[in-house]
């Protein structure tokens, strides 16, 4: 009867019900049960009530009742509670409790409990300035985290992975990097360990999402294919109806989508490869003599759950033949606040930027001197800056003129890169100058922002580019005006090139509504019918990032988003920007070119024509971006015109 009372949650008399249950289970010898453990934990957690055990502190209650439990799997939750309470009080007894949890969790094969215990041991030794022991436990915790990601991520949805990362992985990363800085940042062995951990975690959720989509699309399992098609339809429906739904209704629809994703993930998860096999040595072996790799880390300093208000930025620099170097930026607050505002103002006002180079590059310049090509994985404020457009005050040259900077979602891409194939643009698709108001002539605009006005420059842009394709006997398909339909884009099947020239938007105010976070619903591209929210195929004319994730771009070499602010979105530490670019990567694109600010229609048209002119000859995105910048700079000297676009990918 007591089990029924506990299981049904019938506690009409809260002063005695849990106590009565505990006593009754003890009398019956049923202490090695879930119900006994749960009741004891609940009593210990509510010692401020009038219950009979309330005269004792929680640790005393748990310690006393622990003696009644003999089986390890039931002792473990009590010990975890004891360890947590002692740790929260920074009591010395936490060391013993955590050690016992670590041992016991290994015996019962509870990976999560073991990870928690080892991680809290690292935090505790760190807090007590027991640095040698702290480093040992941080290393052990990182090893455990890698195993957890291997075993758990394949069976979690993207949102669940994000939650797991936020709850467990990110606090460990913050604390381990903070500890590294406390040591002075000169421990080369630990530096390599942290770099490898960063390689493991950086943009991992993005990579897993892209891989899962490919596996689902290629699956021969009819049930998986049906689930995946249903998933695409639900995402499309949510995107179209979002303006008419409350955030509660959106959250409910997202829950249904996540349940469907989970079914697919569980069925296919065992096939996901281990990204953790790529390490520093793999990156170094992939680099040439004149090449370097830079990993930027944005860090909110912390030890465990004890967060500070202090932010730091680190740069890990890897080269082929030298030990990895770690550099801490000395003005992180300036970089994120006044410095970034200054950078944006100089861009928008088209005035000379005399300071940004010193904040965002100078401290790395000595270590990177002599390296011609630099692969960089950005984080934090670096996602909003075109580093190539920073001017070196000592040489009066822009950074892109001194180095070729190639931005990557993760440096893991270096270890996986394949030899570039010759361009075969027989499936190139160009979309531009959508007819936002079908059957109606709209006003003309000079920038590709979110106001829905006609953009004649986008048609000229596509005409000039495709004329170059014709001259090289490369075929393509153009979708101009009323043919630039949302439904058509959704039906694409891995074109070699996808170029979309239109208005883009990111609505920062709509990212979070109530408790519903929707960054991929807050970014999009406007296509035909967007002004009326309807096109000829019954779509709303707005292609959201959420919908883009369902397009098949598995073999697409290049996506060009010739639109305003197509490269911005919601920043999440270590996982990149949640916006349009991310959506196209999930869809399978290898390289995405997107803009960081509102772009001029005419200048953009010329930039894109110049880019393709060089790219069709060289098949080198980075070199072609530099070529277009240099050529356009002759006519438009200010970076506002030629530096808006950034390429991400190899």
By the 8 A CB rule, do 424 and 496 touch?
yes
Number of Cβ atoms within 10 Å of the Cβ of 32: 16
Mean of the pLDDT values across residues 143-163? 79
Confidence (pLDDT) at 607: 94
Contact 201, 576 (CB under 8 A): no
Coil vs helix vs strand at 241: helix
Percent of the chain with pLDDT over 70: 84
Cβ(549)–Cβ(587) below 8 Å? yes
Between 212-221, 312-321, 523-532, the lowest mean confidence (pLDDT) is in 212-221
CA distances (Å), origin 372, targets 210, 257, 289, 388, 513: 31, 46, 9, 13, 45
DSSP sequence for 564-582:
TTTT-EEEETTTEEEEHHH
Largest CA distance in the chain: 90
What are the start-end ranges of the H helices in 406-502? 412-416, 456-471, 486-490
The H or E element containing residue 526 is strand 523-526
Within 10 angstroms of residue 215's Cβ, the number of other Cβ atoms is 18
Q: Which residues pair with 297 in a beta bridge?
A: 314
Distance CA 320, CA 141 (A): 28
Give 512-545 pLDDT, tens digit per residue.
544 445 677 778 899 998 877 655 455 678 888 8
Question: Cα–Cα distance between 413 and 403 in angstroms, integer?
Answer: 20
- CB atoms < 10 A from the CB of 502, how many? 25
Strand partners, 601: none
In this prediction, residue 317 carries a pLDDT of 96
Is pLDDT above 90 for 286?
yes
Query: For residues 140 and 464, what is the distance between their CA atoms, to the nearest angstrom?
Result: 57
Judge contact between 74 and 81, C-beta under 8 A: no
Does the CA dihedral 18-19-25-28 come out positive or negative? Answer: negative
The 3-state DSSP class for residue 611 equals: helix
The number of angstroms, rounded, from the C-alpha of 280 to the middle of its chain's C-alpha atoms is 21
Q: What is the mean pLDDT of residues 215-240?
A: 76
How far is Cα 243 from Cα 555, in angstroms, rounded to an integer?
A: 33
248: left (phi over 0), alpha (psi -120 to 50) or beta: alpha
Element (H, E) at 210: helix 204-218
DSSP state of 624: H
**Closest C-alpha to 581, from 570, 563, 597, 593:** 593
> Counting Cβ atoms within 10 Å, is residue 491 exposed (0-12), middle (13-18) or buried (19+)?
exposed
Torsion of CA 393, 398, 403, 404, to 10 degrees: 160
Give which of 96, 92, 103, 99 is closest to 127, Cα–Cα. Answer: 92
Q: Are 647 and 593 in contact (CB under 8 A)?
A: yes
Give the confidence band of 585 by pLDDT, cuts at 50, 70, 90: confident
SS (H, E, C) 420-446: CCCCCHHHEEEEEEECCCCCCCCCECC
pLDDT band at 51 (very low <50, low <70, confident <90, very high): very low
Measure the CA–CA gap between 311 and 307, rounded to whole angstroms.
Answer: 10
Between helix 170-182 and helix 131-152 the angle, nearest 10°, is 150
Residues 98-114 have pLDDT tens digits of 999 999 999 998 988 99
3-state secondary structure of 19: helix
Higher pLDDT among residues 156 and 60, named by residue: 60
pLDDT at 13: 45
Question: How far apart are alpha carbons 66 and 22 in whole angstroms?
Answer: 12
């Amino acid at each position: 009867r007591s089990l029924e009372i506990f299981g049904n949650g019938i506690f009409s008399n809260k002063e005695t019900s849990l106590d009565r249950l505990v006593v009754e289970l003890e009398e019956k010898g049923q202490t090695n049960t879930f119900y006994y453990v749960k009741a004891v934990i609940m009593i210990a957690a509510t010692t401020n009530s009038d219950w009979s055990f309330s005269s004792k502190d929680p640790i005393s209650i748990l310690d006393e009742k622990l003696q009644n439990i003999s089986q390890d799997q039931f002792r473990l939750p009590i010990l975890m509670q004891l360890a947590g309470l002692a740790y929260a009080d920074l009591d010395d007894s936490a060391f013993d409790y955590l050690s016992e949890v670590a041992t016991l969790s290994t015996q019962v094969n509870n990976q999560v409990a073991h990870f928690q215990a080892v991680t809290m041991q690292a935090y505790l030794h760190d807090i007590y300035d027991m640095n040698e022991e702290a480093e040992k436990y941080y290393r052990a915790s990182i090893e455990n985290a890698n195993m957890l990601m291997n075993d758990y991520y394949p069976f979690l949805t993207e949102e669940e992975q994000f939650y797991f990362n936020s709850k467990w992985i990110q606090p460990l990363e913050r604390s381990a990097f903070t500890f590294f800085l406390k040591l002075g940042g000169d421990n080369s062995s630990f530096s390599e360990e942290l770099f490898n951990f960063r390689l493991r975690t950086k943009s991992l959720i993005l990579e897993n999402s892209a891989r899962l989509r490919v596996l689902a699309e290629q699956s021969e399992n009819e049930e998986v294919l049906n689930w995946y098609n249903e998933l695409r339809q639900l995402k499309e429906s949510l995107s179209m109806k979002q303006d008419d739904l409350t955030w509660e209704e959106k959250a409910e629809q997202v829950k249904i989508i996540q349940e469907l994703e989970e079914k697919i993930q569980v069925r296919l998860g065992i096939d996901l490869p281990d990204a953790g096999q790529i390490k520093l040595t793999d990156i170094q072996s992939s680099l040439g003599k004149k090449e370097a790799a830079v990993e930027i880390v944005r860090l909110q300093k912390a030890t465990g759950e004890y967060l500070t208000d202090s932010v730091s930025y680190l740069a890990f620099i890897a080269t082929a033949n030298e030990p990895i170097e770690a550099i801490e930026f000395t003005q992180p607050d300036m970089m994120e606040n006044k410095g970034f505002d200054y950078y944006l103002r100089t861009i928008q006002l088209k005035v000379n930027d005399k300071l940004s180079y010193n904040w965002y590059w100078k401290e790395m310049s000595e270590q990177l001197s002599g390296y011609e090509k630099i692969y960089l994985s950005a984080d934090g404020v670096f996602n909003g800056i075109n580093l190539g457009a920073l001017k070196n005050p000592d040489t009066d040259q822009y950074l892109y003129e001194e180095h070729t900077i190639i931005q990557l979602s993760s440096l893991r891409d270096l270890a996986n890169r394949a030899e570039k194939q010759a361009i075969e643009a027989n499936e190139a698709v160009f979309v531009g100058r959508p007819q936002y108001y079908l059957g109606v002539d709209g006003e003309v605009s000079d920038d590709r922002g979110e106001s829905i006005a006609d953009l004649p420059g986008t048609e000229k842009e596509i005409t000039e580019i495709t004329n170059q394709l014709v001259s090289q006997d490369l075929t393509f398909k153009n979708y101009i005006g009323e043919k630039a339909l949302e439904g058509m884009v959704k039906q694409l099947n891995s074109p070699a090139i996808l170029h979309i020239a239109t208005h883009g938007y990111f609505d920062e105010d709509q990212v979070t509504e109530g408790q519903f976070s929707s960054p991929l619903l807050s970014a999009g591209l406007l296509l035909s019918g967007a002004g009326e929210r309807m096109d000829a195929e019954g779509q709303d004319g707005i292609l959201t990032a959420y919908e883009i994730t369902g397009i098949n771009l598995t073999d697409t070499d290049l996506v060009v988003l010739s639109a305003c602010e197509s490269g911005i979105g919601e920043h999440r530490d270590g996982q990149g920007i949640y916006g349009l670019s991310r959506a196209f990567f999930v869809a399978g694109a290898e390289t995405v070119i997107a803009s960081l600010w509102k772009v001029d229609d005419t200048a953009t048209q010329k930039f894109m024509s110049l880019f393709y002119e060089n790219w069709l000859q060289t098949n080198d995105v980075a070199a072609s971006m530099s070529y277009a910048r240099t050529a356009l700079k002759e006519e438009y000297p200010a970076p506002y015109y030629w530096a808006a676009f950034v390429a991400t990918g190899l």
